[in-house]
């Protein structure tokens, strides 16, 4: 009976995706910035880790006000990264090794340097005027010019930018230099479709779709409800996230683009970044198989677990119960809608999970990184790793001051708070949150070796400071250490591939065993035919923890270095930050 529900096997479900942040991966020409040639030179390494797909954060021509998430030309490459020929060579080199390639599709907005926007802004009568969202100003009670509504930008301030020459505001949900495209305009959509096809014609295997569900805004762009009376501008997500035509746009994209490239053994993969939309019903509308929309989404909650109620950089501590709830929710809800999951804990938009949810204290760091690998490798879905996660890279050290942070999100927030508090005020609490969650943490240069600049750049001055710990934590060192985090990740990914029915396609069940510490996350994964079962135990604390083991006696250790090779009568003792997997199919 269970076999009926077995999900179909697909390459994109079994994929292990390795996210590359191009600026920080490997600098091959000594200019301090990573590049495409650097990436090509490390494809064999990526493959050796056990990944079979790469996702490149944007490499397109861009003024880099938001590190390439502000695209000036979708058909050209940011010059310091390389040329169009290099991008083609990268795709060819991946395919030659059996690696697939996902590009980052940033089409909710463009850069203000994009030809479309230059034309749009040139005159109210421009044929491209309505490719973006232009509106007349409002007038405040004092007679002063006000933005068309009260929406806040995601990066601070108003979501509207004033354009003096044409006397209107344009919508910019991120930076003023990232104007939002108007997806209600059919010509604009067709132009975006053509740019997607441009890359599919060059062999790209799919897309991570940036800010995917922000493309359809409420046509009236109404004022947002005032949820934070203390602030001048309010989050307008009620009216700009998952708007009325969102599903229509995705289906059209599928029909007009992706499906045209999905035949004859080829199948374009899509993963949408889903912000603000959190409930199971709405998520199902994007990923339910019968909907014909996206393969999977990033729901975001697993990277938001320690965000404050009012803002990312307000304090709210991580608790294991949150991870338990989020995992249980999606592991159940996604199969229930016959959809598919993305499994991840790290990306370029936050701090490293190791430093936020586990521990980068030298005493526990390796164990903690392995424990998180055990979690990620064991749950159902398509697995995404961020470069450096495979060696246990950590956040910036606590000793770094704000001057080391380069990302616009962190800087804008810090400056806004300092403005309110006044020059010289204590900013320690904000710096604490930065050190946990700033996007800079996920973007630090890759640590290849103990050489100058961690082997990331020879001769160049890295665009971002290299983490102080690189002499101890680098690929070269871990390559020769069978006990390393890297060696463990290889084992995890190998196991996940081998036992795909238990893990990638398995059914999750939470274990709520009396007497187990709040800091222990225990669950089972069962193959769709019900025969193979794995018991996963994760200790998120720095002290030893018991697990009673009742009902699992005799199950054999499959992964991890626990002292017990099988679950005994007295259960299992978990070391600090230990993760271990036992299974029922090695019995006897
Ligand atoms: O992120 C979308 C987004 O909503 C982010 O602002 C996210 O909430 C924030 O970074 C969390 O700290 C995507 C990209 O992943 C991000 O890098 C871009 O800056 C953003 O879109 C604009 O393109």
| Residue 210 a catalytic site member | yes
Element (H, E) at 195: helix 186-201
pLDDT in tens, 237-246: 999 999 999 9
pLDDT at 588: 56
pLDDT of 56 > 90? The answer is yes
Q: pTM surpassing 0.85?
A: yes
β-strands 533-539, 520-526 pairing: antiparallel
pLDDT at 460: 87
Local structure of residue 506 (DSSP, 8 states): P
What's the token pair of residue 321?
């119960």
Which residue carries 């599709």 as its tokens?
105
Cβ neighbours around 507 below 10 Å, total:
19
Q: Which atom of ligand 1 is nearest to the CA of 109?
A: 23
Q: How far is CA 115 from CA 122, 180, 408, 474, 555, in A?
A: 11, 14, 24, 42, 62
Q: Which atom of ligand 1 is nearest to the CA of 154?
A: 6
Distance 211 CA to ligand 1 centre (A): 7
Which residue, 255, 248, 296, 299, is CA-closest to 278?
A: 299
Which residue carries 């070796």 as its tokens?
449
pLDDT at 5: 65
Out of 237, 273, 293, 407, pick the active-site residue: 273
Helix, strand, coil percentages, rounded to 5, for the chain: 35, 20, 50
Residue of the nearest CA to atom 5 in ligand 1?
349
Confidence of residue 205 (pLDDT cuts 50, 70, 90): very high
Rounded distance, CA 410 to CA 59, Å? 22
Q: Count of alpha carbons within 13 Å of 462, Cβ hemisphere only?
A: 23
* Helix, coil or strand: residue 234: strand
Distance 275 CA to ligand 1 centre (A): 9
pLDDT of 269 > 80? The answer is yes
pLDDT in tens, 388-434: 999 999 999 999 999 999 999 999 999 999 999 999 999 999 999 99
| 319-327 mean pLDDT | 98
What's the token pair of residue 296?
């999977």
Distance of CA 85 to the CA centre of its chain: 27
pLDDT in tens, 429-470: 999 999 999 999 999 999 999 999 999 999 889 999 999 999
Distance 465 CA to ligand 1 centre (A): 22
β-strands 579-583, 100-105 pairing: unpaired
pLDDT of 3 > 50? The answer is no
* Residues in contact with ligand 1 (CB, 6 Å cut-off): 66, 69, 106, 154, 174, 210-211, 273, 275, 312, 348-350, 409, 439
pLDDT of 119 > 50? The answer is yes
Largest alpha-carbon pair distance within the chain?
83
- 475 and 391 Cβ atoms separated by less than 8 Å: yes
pLDDT at 4: 44
Q: What integer best gives the mean pLDDT of the chain?
A: 97
Local structure of residue 307 (DSSP, 8 states): B
Q: Which atom of ligand 1 is nearest to the CA of 350?
A: 12
pLDDT of 197 > 60? The answer is yes
Local structure of residue 293 (DSSP, 8 states): S
Rounded distance, CA 309 to CA 307, Å? 7
Distance 101 CA to ligand 1 centre (A): 21
What's the token pair of residue 249?
């746009």
Rounded distance, CA 3 to CA 294, Å? 24
| Residue 273 a catalytic site member | yes
């Amino acid at each position: 009976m269970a076999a009926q529900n077995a999900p179909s096997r697909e390459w994109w479900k079994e994929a292990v995706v390795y996210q590359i942040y191009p600026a920080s991966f490997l600098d091959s020409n000594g200019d301090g910035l990573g590049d495409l040639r650097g990436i090509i030179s490390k494809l064999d390494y990526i493959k050796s880790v056990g990944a079979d797909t790469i996702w490149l954060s944007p490499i397109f021509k861009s003024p880099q006000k938001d590190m390439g998430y502000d695209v000036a030309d979708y058909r050209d490459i940011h010059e310091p990264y390389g040329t169009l020929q290099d991008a083609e060579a990268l795709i060819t080199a991946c395919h030659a090794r059996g690696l697939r390639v996902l590009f980052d599709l940033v089409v909710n907005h463009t850069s203000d340097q994009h030809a479309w926007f230059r034309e749009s802004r040139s005159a109210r009568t421009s044929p491209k005027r309505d490719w973006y969202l232009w509106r007349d100003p409002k007038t405040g009670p004092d007679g002063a010019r006000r933005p068309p509504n009260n929406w806040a930008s995601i990066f601070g301030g108003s979501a509207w930018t004033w354009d003096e020459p044409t006397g209107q505001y344009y919508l910019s949900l991120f930076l003023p230099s990232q104007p939002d495209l108007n997806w209600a305009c059919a010509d604009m959509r067709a132009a975006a479709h053509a740019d997607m096809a441009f890359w599919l014609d060059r062999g790209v295997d799919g897309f991570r779709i940036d800010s995917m569900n922000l493309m359809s805004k409420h046509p009236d762009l109404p004022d947002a409800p005032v949820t934070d009376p203390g602030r001048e501008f309010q989050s307008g997500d009620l009216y700009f996230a998952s708007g009325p035509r969102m599903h229509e746009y995705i289906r059209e994209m599928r029909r007009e683009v992706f499906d045209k490239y999905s035949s004859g053994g080829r199948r374009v993969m899509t993963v949408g970044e889903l912000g603000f939309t959190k409930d199971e019903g709405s998520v199902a509308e994007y990923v339910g198989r019968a909907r014909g929309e996206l393969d999977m989404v990033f729901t975001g909650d697993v990277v938001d677990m320690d965000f404050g109620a009012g803002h990312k950089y307000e304090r709210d501590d991580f608790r294991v119960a949150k991870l338990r709830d989020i995992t249980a929710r999606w592991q159940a809800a996604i199969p229930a809608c016959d959809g598919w999951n993305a499994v991840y804990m790290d990306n370029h938009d936050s701090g490293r999970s190791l430093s936020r949810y586990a521990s980068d204290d030298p005493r526990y760091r390796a164990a903690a990184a392995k424990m998180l690998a055990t979690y990620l490798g064991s749950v159902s879905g398509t697995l995404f790793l961020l470069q450096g996660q495979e060696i246990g890279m950590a956040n910036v050290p606590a000793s770094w001051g704000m001057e080391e942070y380069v990302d616009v999100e962190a800087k804008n927030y810090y400056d806004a708070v300092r403005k309110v508090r006044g020059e010289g005020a204590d900013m320690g609490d904000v710096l604490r949150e930065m050190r946990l969650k700033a996007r800079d943490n996920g973007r630090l240069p890759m640590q290849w070796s103990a050489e100058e600049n961690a082997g990331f750049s020879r001769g160049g001055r890295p665009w971002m400071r290299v983490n102080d710990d690189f002499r101890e934590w680098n690929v070269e060192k871990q390559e020769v250490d069978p006990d390393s985090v890297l060696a463990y990740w290889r084992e995890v990914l190998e196991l996940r591939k081998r036992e795909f029915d238990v893990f990638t396609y398995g059914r999750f069940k939470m274990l709520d065993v009396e007497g187990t510490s709040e800091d222990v996350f225990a669950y089972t994964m069962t193959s769709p035919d019900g025969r193979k079962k794995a018991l996963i135990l994760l200790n998120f604390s720095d002290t030893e923890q018991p697990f009673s083991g009742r009902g699992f006696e005799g199950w054999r250790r499959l992964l991890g270095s626990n002292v017990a090779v099988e679950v005994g009568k007295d259960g299992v003792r978990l070391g600090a930050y230990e993760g271990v997997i036992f299974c029922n199919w090695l019995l006897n």
